[in-house]
Structure 1
């Protein structure tokens, strides 16, 4: 049986958010970690994901949204484990020249750009406020991922009407 580890973004998702709905309605889906909310401290998130992946030898599919995608690629650059595939939904673009300000609530460092050691799909939006279509394409190319164009879906979150996300369920089924 496959387990599904849902890797949250920077914040705590609303009850309507597709990630929360999937975890709450499917017994083989679990948080990795439970969404702690800001600040996003990459080292803490990677350690929590590593603990979840390492908790079982059973193969896992990672389902990540937003900054959770960065958690996945950071984890894969430092660790290995029984991960079969990953769905990386609307990863935010982090400029390599970016320096956090004291009031920022994101602490990440450089985003790895090498191919992931498992099959992955990057879900792109043509209207995401945190990445452009070209930036999504760069991530997909660098990570060796398939690129899926979801169209005009914003950041693919509950603010943009994604509660239920049947197309996401279809994508996960392909993994």
Structure 2
């Protein structure tokens, strides 16, 4: 099983758990590389994701998304189907509908249809970019398991999670169900 990392706005920097996982497990974790991390265009981001998923069609995949990457994955799932995508882990989805960041407006509205594979939404009770009540609504609409990770901010490098071992355990649990 391979893991496709789907970062959010500005990419995941050197202290981010996504980067740490990719560095620690280079044979298993690979990153979607967007053309423009600072001024995202929904269709461009979805197309890049689709291209990388298609390129890995001989390998079972679990998508591991963060923030705007989560919303990108959900948009992708509403338009494409890939039998080799076995599960989806959505960490700290960004509320693009309520954001004041103009660069996120293109990603609204957030699709509310069921995802085609087993999925989990991991959210923080004090995420500045999405209220936990909103993440519960999305998880229910997507048919995802909702996990409250506690008060850990946006579950990014500012959260100082290092390798985020709890996230790896959640991913392993998702992998087992895939």
- Both structures adopt the same fold (TM-score exceeding 0.5): yes
The residue correspondences of 1:3-152 to structure 2 (distance < 5 A) are 3-26=2-25, 27-33=27-33, 36-55=36-55, 56-81=57-82, 82-95=84-97, 104-106=102-104, 107-152=106-151
Cα pair distance change 1:160/1:35, threshold 3 Å: farther
Q: Give the Cα separation in 1 of the matches to 2:151 and 2:93.
A: 15
1 or 2, which has the higher helix percentage?
Answer: 2
Unmatched 5+ stretches in structure 2? none
Unmatched 5+ stretches in structure 1? none
Q: Give the Cα separation in 2 of the matches to 1:66 and 1:153.
A: 14
Q: Give the Cα separation in 2 of the matches to 1:13 and 1:153.
A: 17
CA-to-partner distance for each residue in 1:96-138, whole Å, 9 max, x for gaps?
A: xx6x98x822222321100000000000100000111110100
- The normalised TM-score by structure 2 is 0.89
Cα pair distance change 1:7/1:35, threshold 3 Å: farther
Q: Which runs of 4+ in 1 moved over 4 A?
A: none
State the Cα distance separating 1:12 from its structure 2 match: 2.4
Q: Give the Cα separation in 2 of the matches to 1:29 and 1:142.
A: 28
Q: SS at the partner of 2:102?
A: coil
Q: Give the Cα separation in 1 of the matches to 2:42 and 2:136.
A: 23
CA-to-partner distance for each residue in 1:135-174, whole Å, 9 max, x for gaps?
A: 0100100000000110000000111212220000001101
Q: SS at the partner of 1:43?
A: helix
Matched-pair contact (CA < 8 Å) for 2:34–2:45: no
Q: What is the Cα-based RMSD across aligned positions, in Å?
A: 1.8
